[in-house]
Amino acid sequence: MGQPDMGASTSAIIDVRGLTKTYETGFAALKGIDLQIRRGEIFALLGPNGAGKTTLISVICGIVSPTTGTVSADGHDIRTDFRHARSIIGLVPQELTTDAFETVWATVSFSRGLFGKRANPAHIETVLRQLSLWDKKDSKIMTLSGGMKRRVLIAKALSHEPSILFLDEPTAGVDVQLRQDMWNVVRALRDSGVTIILTTHYIEEAEEMADRIGVISKGEIILVEEKAELMRKLGRKQLRLALTHPIAALPESLADFALERSADGGELVYTYDTKGPRTGITTLLGALADAGITFRDLSTHQSSLEDIFVSLVKEAT
Ligand SMILES: Nc1ncnc2c1ncn2[C@@H]1O[C@H](COP(=O)(O)OP(=O)(O)OP(=O)(O)O)[C@@H](O)[C@H]1O
Ligand SMILES: [Mg+2]
């Protein structure tokens, strides 16, 4: 929070430059992505279906090859230094893919082995306990519920102690209680120094969890901002006044107010900050009365992160 912008590749733990991906079908899923993820942050990638979130994550994790551009993970190029880059990354995929006949313990332990890490039962036990899967350690995966299977995927992704964790829609289909538990695990990981990148459709989730938020639409990143800054924007509210008689122009006495006149002059819109020391509404209404402007109706409107998101995605189309 409040950190300077990190353009330098040295300070970004994930550095994506000029990344494009055109699938064999000819479909351009990523159209020139530049993105720097800061060490130790929780970054939420928001975007509608088909925006390119999974494609972007898959390229960074080395599952899908990029068409052009470069990606490095903690200084390791994902193409020329794949093994090292992949060894520091954990991925919780969007699709539930688990070995149905294996036990929880076996599948999570095996996953660690895939990264060439020496067996560490104590670590596997810690991870399973954190994810409330310890009592299921000897159960076959196919006997678990959907939410449990998703937690197994998280356990697998953490089995090799990655320093960067990608979570692709981790809470899709997970109940409210479990979602809270999951977020506690994610926060604990962040507190232990793990950098976290998650995708979500749930704006509240990004709002609750993220340090920064990125919005992707049609293969392009259209916004990256501190969550705190977005929330500050949320603090803005609009007061709409429907006038009794349309006015041709704003009187001079109202020039100092952040007022906008509608095209037909029938409405005035006043934008104010709900988090500021005063809204200025009382003064404004007094000044309107002094200017002889009366209104027949009024309403207030507060833009939500959802509004911002929807209008951004619309603008980008
Ligand atoms: N293997 C593929 N071949 C061709 N097109 C693909 C392939 N995988 C994805 N796409 C297309 O690329 C676009 C981006 O897909 P992607 O899965 O990255 O979106 P997403 O943002 O993760 O969406 P969702 O929110 O639904 O998970 C989509 O239009 C999709 O149809
Ligand atoms: Mg996806």
Residues with CB under 6 A from ligand 1: 23, 25, 27, 29, 47, 49-55, 94
Does the pLDDT of residue 31 top 60, yes or no? yes
Residues 248-260 as b/e (b if ≥16 CB within 10 A, e otherwise) read eebeeebeebebe
Question: Contact at 8 Å (CB) between 163 and 90?
Answer: no
- Please give the distance, rounded to the nearest whole angstrom, from the Cα atom of residue 166 to the centre of ligand 2: 12
Local structure of residue 118 (DSSP, 8 states): P
Average pLDDT value for residue range 120-143: 94
The lowest-confidence range among 70-84, 213-227, 268-282 is 268-282
Among 1-10, 80-89, 146-155, the range of highest mean pLDDT: 80-89
**pLDDT value, residue 234:** 66
Give the pLDDT of residue 5.
44
Output the CA 33–ligand 1 centroid distance in Å. 15
> What domains appear along the chain, each with residue ranges and CATH number?
12-231 (3.40.50.300), 236-303 (3.30.70.100)
Helix, strand, or coil (residue 235): coil
DSSP H or E stretch at residue 197: strand 195-200
Q: Whats the size of the chain, residue-wise?
A: 317
Q: Best of 20, 23, 171 to mutate for ligand 1, by most ligand atoms within 8 A of CB?
A: 23
Q: Which of 155, 156, 164, 145 is nearest to 185 (CA)?
A: 155
Per the CB < 8 A criterion, the answer to whether 104 and 128 are in contact is yes
CA distance 185 to 189: 6
Residue nearest atom 5 of ligand 1, based on CA coordinates: 23
Identify the pLDDT of residue 6.
43
Q: How far apart are the C-alpha atoms of 167 and 182, rounded to whole Å?
A: 11
What average pLDDT does this structure show over 154-169? 95
Distance 201 CA to ligand 1 centre (A): 15
> How much distance in Å is there from the Cα of 195 to the middle of ligand 1?
24
- Supply the residue whose CA is at minimum distance from atom 29 of ligand 1: 50
pLDDT at 2: 40
Distance, CA of 310 to CA of 306 (rounded, Å): 6
Using CA positions, which residue lies closest to atom 3 of ligand 1? 23
C-alpha dist (Å) from residue 245 to 265, 268, 294, 296: 8, 11, 8, 9
> Model's pTM, two decimal places?
0.79
**Percentage of the chain modeled with pLDDT above 90:** 63
Both tokens of 139, joined, read 């159960």
Encoding tokens for residue 61?
């994790």
- Structure confidence at residue 317 as a pLDDT band (50, 70, 90): low
Q: Which atom of ligand 1 is nearest to the CA of 48?
A: 25
52 alpha carbon to ligand 1 midpoint, in Å?
A: 6
Residue nearest to atom 26 of ligand 1 (CA): 49
Mean pLDDT calculated for residue range 137-143: 95
Q: What is the pLDDT of residues 215-254, one digit of tens each?
A: 999 999 998 999 888 777 666 788 999 999 999 999 999 9
